[in-house]
Amino acid sequence: MDDLRLTAKAEDVTFSVRLTPRAGKNEIVGVQAGALRVRLTAPPVEGAANAALIEFIAERLKVRKSAVSIVSGERSRNKIIRVSGMRVEQVQAALQLA
């Protein structure tokens, strides 16, 4: 398994996500090519999968949904996620990747 590439800038941490919508359950599958692989039950219609991804990441990191945003890739399976107010070590520990 690869390592998740986390980038810290000021009070923000960014990382890549490879999203699979319409999965059987919401889960983190692992890391591939430096990106977190996430499966969600939400369909990729009218932003439902993006909203579900933000909620899922916020729950895993124990932060408010407003602290999680999609920087790029809103219409793609490959996304860049920004988490405000956390350090790299905190994100690694919360995602159990350390």
Asked whether residue 43 is assigned to any structural domain, the reply reads yes
Give pTM, 2 decimals: 0.93
Indicate if the pLDDT at residue 34 is higher than 60.
Answer: yes
Establish if 31 belongs to a structural domain.
yes
The answer as to whether 65 is a domain residue is yes
Q: Kindly state whether residue 41 falls inside one of the protein's structural domains.
A: yes
Structure token digits, residue 76? 């793609």
Residues 6+ apart with CB under 8 A from 19: 38, 39, 40, 49, 53, 77, 78, 79
When divided into structural domains, the chain yields a total of: 1
- Answer yes or no: is 90 within a domain: yes
Which structural domain range is residue 11 located in?
6-94
Residue 1 belongs to a domain: no
pLDDT at 97 over 70: no
- Percentage of the chain beyond pLDDT 90 is 89
Phi, psi (degrees; rounded to nearest 5) at 14: -120, 150
Compare 64 and 10 and report the one with higher pLDDT.
Answer: 64
C-beta separation of 63 from 86 below 8 A: yes
pLDDT tens digits, residue range 12-32? Answer: 999 999 999 999 999 999 999
Residue 30 sits in a domain whose CATH number is: 3.30.1200.10
